[in-house]
Structure 1
Amino acid sequence: MTNTQMQIPELSKLEYLPYIDSQGKLPISLQGKIGVYGIFDRDQKLLFVGYSR
């Protein structure tokens, strides 16, 4: 691997991390950042993948 390459983990190996609080707001630490997110149902079945910018 060169210095310009990154190791990107498989989506299936990432932990579930709720990022919207009970009021539907993002934590301050995530506001204004670019990211990829997934929306899951209660059984953790993936319903949607999106990105924010």
Structure 2
Amino acid sequence: MATCLLYRQAPSRPSRFYRIELAMNLFSEVSVLREWGIAGGNGQSVINIYGNLREAS
């Protein structure tokens, strides 16, 4: 459905990334995937499920 990817770069620190993705699942619910971490490395992620798009946003 929609994806937003952001990078934060600072001269004295490693680059970081933030990603949010909204998608409809097979049960007509909205899944919100959030990922973050250091660019080029392993990040962390969380998936939350909402009943509709208004709740998800």
Task: Please state which band the TM-score falls in when normalised by the shorter chain.
Answer: under 0.3
- Normalising by structure 1, what TM-score? 0.25
**Which one has a larger percent helix, Structure 1 or Structure 2?**
1
**Which one has a larger percent strand, Structure 1 or Structure 2?**
2
- Normalising by structure 2, what TM-score? 0.25
